[in-house]
Amino acid sequence: MVVASLAIGGVVGVLLSAGFVWLEIGRFATPQVPVTVFDERKLLAAYTVGLFVGVPLAGSYLLFGVSLGNGALPGTVLFLGGLVVGTEVAQRVARRSRYWGAEAAVPFYLLALRAGVGGILALAVVTAYLSGPTIDGLGIAGAALTAVAVTALSVAGALLSYGGRGPTIPRGGGPVAGALFGAVAFFLLGLGPIAGPVGEIGAPLVVVAGATLAYRGRRVVLAEVPPPTAAPLPAHETPTAYGRTAPAGTEGPLESERPP
């Protein structure tokens, strides 16, 4: 049963996180735009790193939920703090790194990183529920909504923590704002099951709505990223056989194509 639960949780996590990368971040890649504004290899690397970073963070999230449900205040504070601070530290390290942080497209890489983290959190939520003693329709709906909520919370927190500067970018972002947003949202998700059926469904819906509003408010950060500069194509060149090029107006075959 554990293997099946893990497999289902993995599918849900990949669909939510990779689906976000494909649908949302993909809007800024060709052919949707004339020039892709980020490096696809670095984006994939950031998403992969996010999957690995999400493993210990998912453990903190599950232990936070157990501690909150048992009324253990020290454990609740410890694991919630580890989840929030660990997420912010991971984003801060990525932003300050030479590999991702040296480019103007760093918001996209941070989004991919946090999407990977959100995917693992969603995996943990679904797997933990399906591995439990009882499974019913309400619980499945609550777990599915919570999986969506943790993914939405993760990607919204990426842009909120990033902040950014510009005439069209709203003020109020930064690591402190992102950490506070995450702490309140995760605490609300933890209270959901304790409040009964209404809270089990209502808490993730409130978090999804809040994350959506926060993300849409900071989404302009992505539009502010300039396209990468590239050297212009050589002038007056036309394609020839086997992909080789020759100056326009050259008559006859290339030297290498002439018969001996």
For 190-199, what is each residue's pLDDT tens digit? 999 898 889 9
pTM of the model as a whole: 0.84
Rounded CA separation 42/168 (Å): 26
Paired strand residues for 245: 239
pLDDT at 118 over 90: yes
Looking at residues 74-91, what average pLDDT do you find?
A: 95
Paired strand residues for 246: 238
Please provide residue 100's backbone torsions phi and psi, each rounded to the nearest 5 degrees. Answer: -105, -40
pLDDT value, residue 1: 61
Under 8 Å between Cβ of 150 and 117: no
For 210-232, what is each residue's pLDDT tens digit? 999 999 988 888 888 887 765 44
pLDDT value, residue 104: 87
The structural domains of the chain, with segments of one domain joined by +, span 2-223
pLDDT value, residue 152: 96
Under 8 Å between Cβ of 177 and 161: yes
pLDDT at 95 over 70: yes
Q: Which two tokens stand for residue 141?
A: 């709906």
- Give the confidence band of 239 by pLDDT, cuts at 50, 70, 90: very low
Paired strand residues for 239: 245
